[in-house]
Amino acid sequence: MADLAISSREHESRRTELLDRASADGHDGVVLFGALDIQYATGMYHLPTERPCIVGMTRERVEAVVPRLEKEHAEREEFPFDDVTAYFDYPQGDPMQRAAEMCERLGIADGSIAADADGSPARNGYSGPALSDVIPGSVDVTEYITDMREVKSAAEIDLIREASVWANYAHRLLQEKIEPGRRPVTISSEVEAEGTKVMLDTLGDRFEMTDWSAPVMCKFTTGDVTAEPHSVDQTNRIQQGDNIVSIVKPTVGGYTTELERTMFVGEPSAEQRGYFDIMSEAQDLAIEAIAPGVEYAAVEETVVDYFEEQGVSEYTKHHVGHNIGLEGHERPFLDVDYDGTVREGELYTVEPGFYVPGVGGFRHSDTVVVTEDGTEPLTYYERDIDALTVNF
């Protein structure tokens, strides 16, 4: 895509929808405290710390309250703010008082405000007052933006598609570097550095980082550690015969994708092949089950039934998948207890996995977008066992 960012026009359309939702529920305006909610509605990204960034909006105006160190950033031409108020720091700048003054200027301090939270999140030592403590009006905490983020626009899908191209490239680098005796943590660092360099050299000035994370994120575990799906231990050395479970997550324009593979160091055993085949078939079944109008629960039920037939259900530790976008995990969830039906434009990581003690973990994850009659894969790295076996 030509521009690796959401356009100002799309951000304006999002604010219009947000205000429409608030107005329909009787609210006079909107106040946002969440960093990703602010980014989604205005395009302004920032590093959230103890210093609150606060955005208020009505049909007529959009204002921001930011710490002094964010002032020039918030005043960038592409951001929609009619006014930016800077306080020096927290606590000396009294940011919530500045927020109350912003609400007064917007004419909503005495009315009803739709907010994503009743004050800034308690992070990095922040413990300021609630918004409802500093204004005379009422504050209704809503999930409007969380709801809006569930279905992606064409521009959002294009950004995730571009990120998926680089996921494929980075995973190729990862597989080429696997070698007995090496540690996953050092290989991951090399992949992140080399993958980021090539990505930035290719995309050039169109690419802009929106947080501290590496543009290409790569992690993997090896051996017995793979039986713990959220283990962060990447320090044990790779050994012949190991399972490897990887995750590669590049980010483009603030949007991420997810690519995960189960690989083998040396020729896999018959037991490893058997478990791999079950895992691979389960992912196929899940992807085939996803289509507009299908219940979220039904997608996972398809996998649950298959795992029970194959005798591996006792080894499962998580549901089949989740939406993805500005965050690595977003709702809706492909979960037997999640109500609702799949819609065109939702994206999912499809990752039915299981974890066998003494053998290892078995999980592929691919990002797919829901189309009119099914799904389109955005990640496309090899999935078969022979292509994922690293021989020496």
- Ranges for all domains in the chain classified under CATH 3.90.230.10: 154-390
- Ranges for all domains in the chain classified under CATH 3.40.350.10: 8-145
Distance of CA 232 to the CA centre of its chain: 18
The domain defined by 8-145 carries CATH number 3.40.350.10: yes
Question: For 201, phi and psi rounded to 5 degrees?
Answer: -65, -35
Q: Which two tokens stand for residue 340?
A: 């609702």
What pLDDT does residue 1 have? Answer: 57
What pLDDT does residue 383 have? Answer: 97
Architecture field, domain 154-390:
Alpha-Beta Complex (3.90)
Q: Which two tokens stand for residue 354?
A: 């299981």
- Beta bridge partners of residue 115, listed in sequence order: 31, 141
* Gap between the Cα atoms of 277 and 384, Å rounded: 9
Q: Give the helix, strand, coil percentages of the chain, each rounded to 5.
A: 35, 20, 45
Q: Three-state SS across 20-63?
A: HHHHHCCCCEEEECCHHHHHHHHCCCCCCCCCCCEEEECCCCEE
**CA nearest neighbour of 319 among 357, 360, 363:** 363
Contacts of 99 (CB under 8 A, 6+ apart): 31, 52, 54, 56, 65, 131, 134
What pLDDT does residue 392 have? Answer: 84
Which amino acid, residue 258?
Answer: E
Question: For 225, phi and psi rounded to 5 degrees?
Answer: -65, -25
* 225 three-state secondary structure: helix
List per-residue pLDDT tens for the chain, 392 residues long: 578 999 999 999 999 999 999 999 999 999 999 999 999 999 999 999 999 999 999 999 999 999 999 999 999 999 999 999 999 999 999 999 999 999 999 999 999 999 999 999 999 999 999 999 999 999 999 999 999 999 999 999 999 999 999 999 999 999 999 999 999 999 999 999 999 999 999 999 999 999 999 999 999 999 999 999 999 999 999 999 999 999 999 999 999 999 999 999 999 999 999 999 999 999 999 999 999 999 999 999 999 999 999 999 999 999 999 999 999 999 999 999 999 999 999 999 999 999 999 999 999 999 999 999 999 999 999 999 999 999 98
